[in-house]
Chain A
Amino acid sequence: MKCPQIEKLLPLYVGDDLPADQMESVRTHLADCTQCFEMAAGFSESRSWFREAAIPSFDEADLANMRASVHQRIAEEHEIPGLLDRIFASLSLRPVFVAAAAAIILLGAVLYGLRSVDKPPNQVKPDIAREAEIRDGNEVIDPTGRKTPQTAGRDKPRRIRRKAVKTRSDLIARTDPLPLETKQEPSEQLRIELQTSDPNIRIIWLARK
């Protein structure tokens, strides 16, 4: 090998980091080449300087402080509370107060639910205006007897749907003698509306003239 090649290998040669055959080649070259030999000596010296100067000396006090800091951090990590505890701590709340508040909210929700169940339904559909849709072939007969063509769900099976919930007698009993409105429908229909005592219930009777 020539000098430029050897010079490239010298940094590794001084640390014995070359394969055996290359180590031998460099060694043979250095025995004959003064210039490369001096360069190798320079590498060896700088490596020795690097190794000797890089021995740090830390005071025992520094090391003891470092260990103490580690122990302190470990202790802090062990003392970290759970998520709920942290929330309580951050809000300065005691768990018993929070539990009491939760119980009150729950009780309120239950009472509200019970009240809703006792409440009568808002709307009563009159039997008189039962909106039975009787599907008859391709036509639907509404309560007035009109036949309207079916537009959707043609292939569905025949069925009878009833929405009436109250009997006629019930409705009459509830009905107050309120003004009776009679409207003349433009399409030869008579429309009779009865307002019951319940403002939410109005009886509408559609009939042919």
Chain B
Amino acid sequence: MRVIDVTLMMDQTRGENEATQGSLTMARLIARAQAGDRQAFDRMMIEHQNRVVSLAWRLLGNREDALDAAQESFMRVYRHLHKYDPSYEFSAWLYRIVVNVCRDQARKRSRIDTSSLDEAFESGRLNEPVSSDKTESAAILAQERKLLAKALLTLTEKERQAIVLRDLEGLATGEVAELLGSSPTTVRSQISSARSKIRAFRARFLT
């Protein structure tokens, strides 16, 4: 039992060290990118691209829009990198940019009427991210994602942002509130409403 404890402690310490080293590396990368190093900026993009694209897809529910939003987000990062204060967490700063870009994009884009969702699916406007792997499980997953995109469209913009950041990105309610410029009470209300709608959607289409 004691041996297990020691092993766990060692693993924990190693994990913390790796996390610290990772953040230090990222801080150095950001500093170099701020100094105009394009390679460092590219490395930074590689480090964050999956999270950025995922968040954009979750907020917009569309593959092409998500890639466009990710591109625009990194452009904004590049333009405003000199304003970034290293004493704050970079990922939080980046999240804020992505959320703002997605919000702008959603407003520019003509809003898809929920009553014509089926038409949207038929016309291919609501493409889900698809893997090149065409196995049966991938097809099922793709179907699940289609339904999820459909479920997300039943939410209001605020509800979608709140639940994506809370349930999918794993941010605390306070962090979500700060990111969205709202109060924790409002965010809780939006999360509650979104979870109820998703449950109702799932009960209707999947059970």
Contacts and interface: CB of A to CB of B under 8 A. Distances in A.
Interface residues of A, number: 32
B151 A70 contact: no
Nearest to A74: B78
A51 B131 CA distance: 18
Contacts of A66: 49, 53, 67, 70-71, 74
Contact of B192 (A12, A42, A49, A73): A12
Contacts of B30: none
Interface in A59-107: 59, 62-63, 65-67, 69-71, 73-74
Contact of B67 (A45, A46, A47, A62): A62
Given A17-B191, A46-B195, A56 B166 contact: no
Dominant secondary structure of chain B at its interface with chain A: helix
**Size class of the B contact interface (CB-based, 8 Å):** 35 or more
B203 A42 contact: yes
B120 interface: no
Interface in B49-91: 49-50, 53-54, 57-58, 63, 66-67, 70-71, 74-75, 78
Interface string A42-59: 110111011111111111
B166 A15 contact: yes
B148 A50 contact: yes
A71 B63 CA distance: 21
Contacts of B75: 70, 73-74
A105 B144 CA distance: 73
B27 interface: no
Dominant secondary structure of chain A at its interface with chain B: helix
Contacts, number: 108
A143 interface: no
B96 interface: no
A13 to B, nearest CB: 10
B45 A70 contact: yes
B202 interface: yes
Given A63-B49, A70-B75, A46 B148 contact: no
Contacts of A134: none
Interface in B175-207: 188, 191-193, 195-196, 198-199, 201-203, 206
B148 A54 contact: yes
B167 interface: yes
A70 B131 contact: no
Contacts of A73: 71, 75
Interface string B137-163: 000010011011001000000000001
A15 B206 contact: no
A46 B47 CA distance: 31
Interface of A: 8, 11-12, 14-15, 17, 42-43, 45-47, 49-59, 62-63, 65-67, 69-71, 73-74
28 contacts: A8-B192, A11-B191, A11-B192, A12-B192, A17-B188, A43-B195, A45-B202, A46-B195, A46-B201, A47-B198, A51-B167, A52-B144, A53-B141, A53-B147, A53-B148, A54-B168, A55-B54, A56-B63, A58-B53, A58-B66, A62-B67, A63-B50, A65-B67, A67-B49, A69-B71, A70-B71, A71-B42, A73-B75
Given A15-B167, A55-B54, 19 more contacts: A11-B192, A12-B192, A14-B195, A15-B191, A17-B166, A17-B191, A42-B203, A45-B202, A46-B199, A46-B201, A49-B202, A50-B148, A53-B141, A53-B147, A54-B148, A63-B49, A70-B71, A71-B38, A74-B75
10 closest Cβ pairs, A-B complex:
A11-B195, A56-B129, A46-B199, A11-B192, A53-B148, A53-B144, A46-B202, A56-B57, A70-B74, A57-B131
